[in-house]
Amino acid sequence: MGHGTFAWNELLTRDVEAAKAFYAALAGWSFQPMSMANGGTYWVAEVGGKPVAGIMAMPAEMPSHVPPHWFEYLEVDDVDARLTVATKNGGTIMRPPFDVPDVGRLGFIIDSTGAALGLMTPARKA
């Protein structure tokens, strides 16, 4: 992976257990729990011990009309700098940059066409 490639996908759903069962059957995924800062659980989907995606409950503040959906993250060289580029080119910042320990730096945008997208600069492994 690298700058300009999709680095991660996660499913936001109102029924995590049903989603886990569906993707276990469909894709053979197994799941490892990861605690979230808000007290919830993020489920890392794995194939052969390799992380491939995530599943989490939709946040309570998500409007009820928003359906469950997959959300993508584009890997970039510098989230903060790329957020500036996005706004200069017709995008808007949906969530300012923040750090997730052992994952990287993230920020969420709405692109110039209205599509939501996550930007990610992965944490560097020591």
Domains held by the chain: number: 2
In a domain, 105, yes or no: yes
Q: Are residue 83 and residue 55 in the same domain, yes or no?
A: no
Task: Read off the pLDDT of each residue in 11-37 and give the average, rounded to a whole number.
Answer: 96
Q: Alpha-carbon Rg of the chain, whole angstroms?
A: 15
| pLDDT value of residue 126 | 61
> In the chain, what percentage of residues exceed pLDDT 70?
98
Nearest to 59 by CA among 102, 95, 6, 23: 95
Q: Are residue 80 and residue 54 in the same domain, yes or no?
A: no
Residue-range definition of the domain harbouring residue 105: 76-126
Q: Are residue 81 and residue 38 in the same domain, yes or no?
A: no
Inter-CA distances, 91 with 15, 61, 66, Å: 31, 23, 21
| pLDDT value of residue 102 | 85
Task: Read off the pLDDT of each residue in 17-39 and give the average, rounded to a whole number.
Answer: 94
In a domain, 66, yes or no: no
Q: What is the pTM (predicted TM-score) of this model?
A: 0.83
**What is the spatial distance between Cα 54 and Cα 126, in angstroms, rounded to a whole number?**
23
| pLDDT value of residue 111 | 96
Q: Tell me the pLDDT tens digit for each residue of 63-111.
A: 999 999 999 999 999 999 999 999 999 999 999 999 988 889 999 999 9
Following CA atoms 85, 90, 95, 101 in sequence, which dihedral angle do they give, to the nearest 10 degrees? -30
Q: Are residue 6 and residue 34 in the same domain, yes or no?
A: yes
| pLDDT value of residue 37 | 82
